[in-house]
Structure 1
Amino acid sequence: MSITQQYLLDTYRARQLGAPAPPAPGTRDRQVVGEWRDHRRFRAVLAGRPAHGRLRRALRRWWSLRPRALG
């Protein structure tokens, strides 16, 4: 059963029971991603790591440590 089919079935059941309709699939994706990112930053601060810029810092470190071609 696809997500759309499940949503339509849940909407039908809610209408039959007089309950509010469930939210449509994908309506809260942006909110979930933002909350996940905030939680990751919070966990980084608790662990004593920088909350942001970790990827850029790692790439800069990797770039500076790679062997240079002799020219």
Structure 2
Amino acid sequence: MSITQQYALDVYRARQHGEPLPPAPGRDDWQVVRELGEYRRFRAVLAGRPAHGRPRRPWAGRLRALWSRWTHPHPLR
């Protein structure tokens, strides 16, 4: 059974029982990712390690450069 089918079944059951509808799949994915980062920083503090403000993303600079090249192509190329 796929996620979409399970969600449809959950919605059907919730409506049959007059309960609130479950959240749609994937709706809160980015919030979960952010909370996981906060949790990791919290655990680092408890373990006595330094907690950095944002997790390092080694791919962010490359992604930014790629986006810049794609949105602002060089006129002589």
Same fold (TM over 0.5): yes
Output the amino acid matched with 2:2. S
Q: Distance in 2 between matches of 1:43 and 1:24?
A: 30
Q: CA RMSD in A?
A: 2.0
Q: Is 1:42 aligned to residue 42 of structure 2?
A: yes
- Spell out the pairing of 1:1-71 with structure 2 (5 A cutoff): 1-52=1-52
Q: Which residue number in structure 2 is paired with residue 63 of structure 1?
A: none
Q: Size of the alignment, in residue pairs?
A: 56
Moved over 3 A (4+): 53-56
TM-score (norm 2): 0.64
Shift of 1:50: 1.7
User: Which is greater in Rg?
Assistant: 1
Identity of aligned residues (%): 71
Q: Distance in 2 between matches of 1:49 and 1:40?
A: 11
